[in-house]
Structure 1
Amino acid sequence: MDPEFVLFPGRHHVLTRFQADYLSRFGGATIVWAVTSANHENTKRNPVPYHRREAAIERFSALEGLRSLVVPVFDTAPTDRFAEVTLKNITVATGLELTPENCLVACSTPQVAALYEALGFGIAGVEAGVTPAPERPWDVLLRLAAGDESWRELAHPSTVDVFERYRLVDAVRSVVNDPVVGDEGGLTATRDYRTYASAFADAAGRKWDLVRGHVRPGRIVDIGCGAGAVLELADAEPALRESDLIGVEIARHLFEECVHKKAQGAFRNANVYFYRRNVLGGAIFPPRSIDTTLTFALTHEIWSYGDRWESLRAFARAIYEHTAPGGVWINSDVCGPDGRDVPVRLTLRADDGDNPPAVRTDLASLPSAEVSAYVAGLSTRARLDQFAVDYRFPFGYEPVGADTVELPLGAAMDYLTRKDYPDNWLSETQEQFCGLEFADWKSLLTDVGFELDPASAPSRNDWIVSNRLAPTASLATVRGEPLDWPVTHVLLVARRPFNT
């Protein structure tokens, strides 16, 4: 007996001609498309937003004469109850009770099919049930990403139409081929975004006080806006009530929090917008369209996760291009010390934690809580040895005593400004804070066309010195003469000249 329903679970980023032929065999059955990862977009695993996937499915169904229902299924942590969760989602969304008696499951992924089979459902294998197996939808999408135009012959006309009308071809290629962004749409898979967002929110007031006097009203964009805390403060400024406030964030977790805040009425200004974009993927805004660009603790990530000078220069050039004449880019970030390659002696406490006989090389394979506990239990001196193993930017150092080492000043400050973050250790060790010193910044910004405002200057965070550095470490020249703590941060106010 023909089934009344055919459940077709999957991400459904691409629909194929094979799928059309395959589903036509089920006659008058209603196809229930369970679109998984429906709350994900702009990531390598999920490059196409749900609403575009839904549009393609509806067009597919109309062209093929299929009766379809499309149900979004939000992403969940891996679970062997996935099939049950999906069925419950369908019941809530449509009122349908899909059972083994009225429904067949069309699924080509053996692990997923087994979950439905365990509930008693019959399985139609789609691509897995045909020999030789045709290309699967993800294979077709990878052809598109690689620039292979044969994807158009394999994809169903509905997908081709939606991709062309909504200009998704270039967007998919950019996301899938992005060397920086991870599968789930962040710079790093090891970051604890909950603590990350909390830290940014706590510092938002200080950041806004630092830059508010340099902000030019009009179109104001915060690139790498986190959970939108600085834009909330900008929203409260009477002088900016007529401005557009725009947040750009790449990390899915943080972007979703921004959208949630807006939906909950956190902003009084009606002209607040959020975009999920990779700033290394090319221009985000039209030329000369932005009056103020804000970046906080972002440029060191572009340097670290991108191609260092090449990526940072491309980013600075993109900011210059989208800045209106007379507009400003305000950048606040960490900064390397002057003379970062000069060798120094760093003395560290060895009595404030464990001093194991050897460093561990397996931290990346451990649960994050175990990594945090292990690193937190190390002495300051032992933690340097662990940092040298896990740090993505190799540096050399030589012991010159039980608790003293000789190394470049920049490497010393990179360690000292990272040593107190065991909760995000495997993320923090992927980033270089001291790649550029103030002179490098001046050269870079003037080279791309900006004029540097006199307010631009490096600074030292004395709270960090008093609470994080001085209690556990000291610096000296290689001759043993004490050194004062160098700068740790920089404020850059870069203006595009009116005549350019």
Structure 2
Amino acid sequence: MGPVVSEYLLFPGRHHVLTRFQGEFLREHAAGRTVVWAVTSANHRTTKRNPIGFDRRQAAIERFSVLEGIRSLVVGVVDTPPTDEFAEVTVKAIEAGTDDLVRLTPANTVVACSTPEVSKLYERLGFVVIGVEPEGVVRPWDVLLMVAAGNESWRSEAHPATVDVFERYALDAHVQRCVNDPVVGDDGGLTTTRDYKTYADAFETAADRKWAQIREFVRPGRILDIGCATGATLQLVDADPRFHESDLIGVEVARHLYAECVHKKEQGRFANPNVYFYQRNMLGSAVFPPRSIDTTLTLALTHEIWSYADGARPETVQRFASALFAHTAPGGVWINSDVCGPAEPDRPVVLALDDSDGLNPAEPVELESFDDPAAYVGGLSTRARFFQFAQDFRRNARVPFEYAVQDGRLVLRLADAMDFLTRKDYVDNWLSETHEQFCGLNFAGWADVATQAGFTLDPSSKPWRNDWVIDNRIAPVAALSSLDGAELDWPDTHQLLIARR
């Protein structure tokens, strides 16, 4: 078949890397045509699947076009779930992205694509599709994995435009951090089952209470909130006149929450012009220069550092604290407000749980097969929920969680009892929450982590008990006693750690 005459050549793809082969291909097929680069997942960055932001991808494409002498239009296409309408979505996104100046039809456009499943979607609309990379040719994703592996031969496969942009913006190191991250998933979340809307609402609701607890310890200057979620705490810092000349910096690893922070800034929700957000995993590498941060906030974060540490929990949290000490200025402070385990984590206790407040199935189930896990867990009695938690917590958090049933009584470690009791009502994110261990360290353990890193503890540091949770969520359905039957008081559930350099 002879060459297809058309006005446009549509080239859909993520385009994180451009290759020398693509340069040869477009020199042959783009003559007399405008290449329309549909850059998919344009709203994603800093994830395993999409490590490079749209702005850097566009810069490389424009540089590529100049070097190859082709006329290009670059249009970002937001990420969509897998759909058989992908081709229609892309064509409509191009119309919207060019203010309807470019309308691609089978009569004026040929599509360049090497993915058979995607090619079929365009062919179904009547487009002629030509393949790009034949078998045996190194494809862009292969080159990206070479970058992630530190294989310097990627430079000989990548187009000079990509090499140039990667070198100028240090994108090779950025790709390595993202793709090799042991904590964050393919799409920039900690777990695939987390409902980020629920998390965002919870952070917004709790921000005032947390700020009231920590505000007196915050030092003006460069104020860093790690795990800033939706930026709600930084909004309260921004509203405090004491900090109107401070730099406010938020770091958030989860793509969904980071996007909300950026959205707030774009809406003008911050009066201070010196507000900055980073999407970064602080476990990956140092983010800020030594002795450059006056206040570091970690609110409801350190238990996640512990929980997602891929097995090396003590070493990981110690490395994290040491990194905080390194970037803290002399006289600066690390303020940590989070959950913690009881002072006597290994004490054996008897836990009595209500079995009249819900259903009592014979065995726990595999929740991953349920369309609505929250509804199922929410319908269980407190006692039945314990057995479901034990199964899911062991698997997801990779912890022993040992217990025995003696004459109908549950006998287990105090820390394990509190891990269940403080999480039993989190049904909306049950599968995600059971990845996390609240009671991995008690206050003394976290204090030791801080002092080993080099910090000095302020006398205001303390463990404390959330009596609202005890009175409203735990005590009505549970009772705690010693092995000899003596009633036990509820232990501390939270910590406030003020660590100074």
Distance 2:97 2:373 in 1: 41
Residue 279 (structure 1) shift: 1.0
1:235 aligns with 2:238: yes
Q: How does 1:103-118 map to 2 (within 5 A)?
A: 103-118=109-124
Residue 77 (structure 1) shift: 2.6
1:131-180 per-position Cα deviation (integer Å, ceiling 9, x unaligned):
x4312110111111111111111111111111011101011011000110
- 1:424 aligned residue: 429
1:86 aligns with 2:90: yes
- 2:448 aligned residue: 443
Q: How does 1:112-151 map to 2 (within 5 A)?
A: 112-127=118-133, 130=134, 132-151=135-154
- 2:337 aligned residue: 332
Q: 1:205 aligns with which of 201, 205, 208?
A: 208
- 2:217 aligned residue: 214
Query: Which letter does structure 2 place at the counterpart of 1:316?
Result: A
Gaps of 5+ in 1: none
- 2:54 aligned residue: 50
1:481 aligns with 2:486: yes
Distance 1:202 1:93 in 2: 36
Distance 1:56 1:431 in 2: 40
Query: Which letter does structure 1 place at the counterpart of 2:10?
Result: L
1:466-493 per-position Cα deviation (integer Å, ceiling 9, x unaligned):
0111011011111111110000000000
Query: Which letter does structure 2 place at the counterpart of 1:58?
Result: E
Q: 1:385 aligns with which of 384, 387, 393?
A: 387
- 1:293 aligned residue: 296
Query: Which letter does structure 2 place at the counterpart of 1:35?
Result: V
- 1:468 aligned residue: 473
1:155 aligns with 2:161: no
1:356 aligns with 2:361: yes
Query: Which letter does structure 2 place at the counterpart of 1:483?
Result: L
- 1:405 aligned residue: 410
Is the contact made by 1:326 and 1:495 (CA closer than 8 Å) also made in structure 2?
Answer: yes
1:376 aligns with 2:378: yes
Residue 89 (structure 1) shift: 1.4
| Aligned-pair identity (%) | 64
Residue 366 (structure 1) shift: 3.2
Q: Structure 1 residue runs of 4+, over 6 Å off?
A: none
Distance 1:444 1:422 in 2: 31
Gaps of 5+ in 2: none
Query: Which letter does structure 2 place at the counterpart of 1:326?
Result: G
Closer, same or farther in 2 for the Cα pair 1:365/1:136, shift >3 Å? farther
Is the contact made by 1:336 and 1:410 (CA closer than 8 Å) also made in structure 2?
Answer: yes
Query: Which letter does structure 1 place at the counterpart of 2:499?
Result: A
Residue 197 (structure 1) shift: 0.8
Distance 1:83 1:188 in 2: 29
Query: Which letter does structure 2 place at the counterpart of 1:447?
Result: Q
Give the TM-score normalised by the residue count of structure 1: 0.96
2:37 aligned counterpart, secondary structure: strand
1:326-377 per-position Cα deviation (integer Å, ceiling 9, x unaligned):
00000000010011011111000111111111111x212433xx10011011
Distance 1:117 1:133 in 2: 24
Give the TM-score normalised by the residue count of structure 2: 0.96
Query: Which letter does structure 2 place at the counterpart of 1:188?
Result: T
2:283 aligned counterpart, secondary structure: helix
Is the contact made by 1:104 and 1:123 (CA closer than 8 Å) also made in structure 2?
Answer: yes
Distance 1:44 1:182 in 2: 7
1:225 aligns with 2:228: yes
Residue 247 (structure 1) shift: 0.9
1:281 aligned counterpart, secondary structure: coil
| Root mean square deviation of aligned Cα | 1.0
Distance 2:200 2:260 in 1: 9
Distance 1:240 1:212 in 2: 11
1:263 aligns with 2:261: no
Residue 394 (structure 1) shift: 2.4
Equivalent residues, number: 489
Query: Which letter does structure 2 place at the counterpart of 1:372?
Result: A
Distance 2:407 2:190 in 1: 38
- 1:23 aligned residue: 26
1:279 aligned counterpart, secondary structure: coil
Is the contact made by 1:388 and 1:394 (CA closer than 8 Å) also made in structure 2?
Answer: no
Query: Which letter does structure 2 place at the counterpart of 1:184?
Result: D
Query: Which letter does structure 2 place at the counterpart of 1:308?
Result: R
Distance 1:20 1:3 in 2: 19
Residue 9 (structure 1) shift: 0.3
Distance 2:148 2:82 in 1: 27
1:374 aligned counterpart, secondary structure: helix
- 2:80 aligned residue: 76
Q: 2:38 aligns with which of 27, 34, 43?
A: 34
- 2:178 aligned residue: 175
Query: Which letter does structure 1 place at the counterpart of 2:46?
Result: N
